[in-house]
Amino acid sequence: MRYLLLAGALASAAACGGGRGGATGDISRACLEADRRAASPALCSCVQQVANQSLSGSDQARAVTFFENPQLAQDTRQSDRRGDERFWDRYRAFTDLASEICQPVDV
């Protein structure tokens, strides 16, 4: 399953290049608004494409809160609640995949 996800994400990541016509969504917007040095329209679009393929809409909405409040990510990671643990497993798979596929481009 992970290989199918990786193959699909790699195929769609090819469209990440210029940031035009790329994926837009809550994660892409949060990525750009977080004002991190490496953030670019192309990178954030690529991350959004990976999110679209690996996270449900509700998981994406929850992940957006981590951009706004990083402490929530830490609290979720350390939580003993089963629902938080399951979400964290999906979120880590997403971030690992996005890290493999979406590389910042130096300008």
pLDDT > 90: what percent of the chain? 65
Q: What is the pLDDT of residues 91-102, one digit of tens each?
A: 999 999 999 999
- How far is Cα 70 from Cα 47, in angstroms, rounded to an integer? 17
Q: Which residue has the higher pLDDT, 51 or 16?
A: 51
- Is the pLDDT reported for residue 19 higher than 50? no
**Tens of pLDDT along 38-56?**
889 999 999 999 999 999 9
Single pTM value for the model: 0.75
- Whether 57 and 17 have beta carbons less than 8 Å apart is answered as no
Q: Say if residue 14's pLDDT is above 50.
A: no
